[in-house]
Amino acid sequence: MNNLKLVPFLLGLIVVSFFGCSKSDSDDEGVGTSLSITVNDNNGKAVEGANVSIFKSLQDLTANQNPVTGKSMVTNAQGKAVFTEIPESVSSVYVKASKGSISTMYGASHPMVSITHGSSNSLIAQAVAMTTDPGNGNSGDVQQRVVLLEEVTAQGCPNCPRGHSTVASILNSKGDRVVPVAIHALGLAKELKIDEGQKIATEILKASYQPQGSVNRSPISGSSLTGGTTSWASKVNSELDIAPKVNLELSRDGNQVKVKAKLNQNISAPLRVTVLITENNIKASQSNGGDNYNHMHVLRDVVTAYDGDALTSGAGNQGDIIEKSFSLSLNGSWKTSDIKIVAFVHEFQSSRYVHQAAQISY
């Protein structure tokens, strides 16, 4: 029995492969087999009242459309939901379980949730779950979603410490599923401003004041990719609910960094990858923060072009794997122990949408 851990709202996502299905006495395709799904929280407690749906493809799961049996099931007091009459033509399914805000239910900021599965049909008792283990590269795996949070900030901005606190709160809640980048830009920026960051802030994010934030470069209000501090946490939550269309692995060997992207489904838009360097714990002045303020996640360099380097020149197909390597050049004044390497795969034509982000220490 395999377990999978994911964060709130989307409680779990596994691929279950059936080894053998029972034959129905009927000619209909409706009674091929049955499947039992059990949902537990990280303490092993059964989750009652969770809505569970099964889908034939990741695309259907992401769009929440075309469930295999036409409806979702609700877990009982033992955390179990049983699906019957699964068509024999269905050889594997994606499973989605959700129940409102888990944090409210269990009094924790981001409790992890596990899903176990078992079949009520003895002929498929050997059903194999391929879990979504981030970055292990196994065929068929889908990573947990990791979102990019870009904060447009400035040392001369008196309201920006509030933005820094908002980012810190989100990271405290969501952990490494959020990759933060503090872009010092616009008129109030001082020595922590770099040219590429200014271009990202003005040409891509279209920021006009600080603090502003963008989550996965997804519209927050209307067509605007940025919003004020009160919009960031809810936008992060909604983006974390979306299964990534791209897996992204990031590794480093000396001053060489390698990016490996794998498409989890067909993507019609060409893709780019952006690689950045950020630094934590920079002591510098900050309006409303003093002369020895501790700046975090500061954008230090853009390794690629500021708007990314090409991954695909056109449409990509599910299963495609693209690898690229980049050379890093660090300023001697930067503290390597505080350096992070950030990468994200994104669109760049009609949309700037970020499909997946990753971050490693130097």
In this predicted structure, the answer to whether residue 329 has a pLDDT above a threshold of 70 is yes
Residue 284's beta-bridge partner residues? 293
Per residue, the 3-state secondary structure of the chain, as one string, reads: CCCEEECCCCCEEEEEECCCCCCCCCCCCCCCEEEEEEEEECCCCECCCCEEEEECCHHHHHHCCCCCCCCCEECCCCCEEEEEEECCCCCEEEEEEECCCHHHHHCCCCCCEEEEEECCCHHHCCCEEECCCCCCCCCCCCCCCCEEEEEEECCCCCCHHHHHHHHHHHHHHHHHHEEEEEEECCCCCCCCCCHHHHHHHHHHCCCCCCCEEEECCCCCECCECCECHHHHHHHHHHHHCCCCCEEEEEEEECCEEEEEEEECCCECCCCEEEEEEEECCEEEEECCCEEEEEECCEEEEECCCCCCEECCCCCECCCCEEEEEEECCCCCCCCHHHEEEEEEEECCCCCCCEEEEEEEEC
Lowest mean pLDDT among 57-61, 63-67, 263-267, 270-274: 57-61
- Pairing of the two strands 147-153 and 178-184: parallel
* Chain mean position to CA 172: 16
Which of 120-124, 201-205, 264-268 holds the top average pLDDT?
A: 201-205
CA 242-240-357 angle, 5° bins = 95
| pLDDT for 62 | 62
For the domain spanning 147-361, the CATH number is: 2.60.40.10
Mean pLDDT for all residues in the chain: 79
Give the pLDDT confidence of 97-119 residue by residue, as tens digits: 776 543 222 222 223 344 444 44
Average pLDDT rounded to a whole number, residues 277-306:
98
In this predicted structure, the answer to whether residue 122 has a pLDDT above a threshold of 60 is no
Give the whole-angstrom CA distance, residue 196 versus residue 183: 9
In this predicted structure, the answer to whether residue 120 has a pLDDT above a threshold of 70 is no
In this predicted structure, the answer to whether residue 312 has a pLDDT above a threshold of 70 is yes
The phi and psi torsions of 236 (rounded to 5 degrees) equal -60, -45
Average pLDDT rounded to a whole number, residues 252-266:
93
- Angle separating helix axes 232-240 and 160-174, nearest 10 degrees: 30
| pLDDT for 37 | 77
In this predicted structure, the answer to whether residue 129 has a pLDDT above a threshold of 50 is no
| pLDDT for 42 | 52
Confidence at 91, pLDDT banded by 50, 70, 90:
low
What percent of the chain stands above pLDDT 90? 55
Q: Give 80 or 110, the one with higher predicted confidence.
A: 80
| pLDDT for 277 | 98
List the structure tokens of 87.
């068509």
Give the pLDDT confidence of 31-69 residue by residue, as tens digits: 456 777 777 665 567 778 877 888 777 667 666 778 888
List the structure tokens of 100.
């409102």
Domain ranges of the chain: 4-130, 147-361
In this predicted structure, the answer to whether residue 276 has a pLDDT above a threshold of 70 is yes
Average pLDDT rounded to a whole number, residues 314-320:
90
What percent of the chain stands above pLDDT 70? 75
Lowest mean pLDDT among 8-22, 68-82, 196-210, 258-272: 8-22
Give the pLDDT confidence of 146-162 residue by residue, as tens digits: 999 999 999 999 999 99
In this predicted structure, the answer to whether residue 22 has a pLDDT above a threshold of 80 is no
Question: What is the CATH architecture assignment of 4-130?
Answer: Sandwich (2.60)
| pLDDT for 92 | 65
Q: Give 191 or 115, the one with higher predicted confidence.
A: 191
The phi and psi torsions of 274 (rounded to 5 degrees) equal -115, 135
| pLDDT for 43 | 57
Give the whole-angstrom CA distance, residue 20 versus residue 34: 12
Cα-based torsion angle of the residue sequence 319, 314, 64, 41 in order, rounded to the nearest 10 degrees: 50
In this predicted structure, the answer to whether residue 96 has a pLDDT above a threshold of 70 is yes
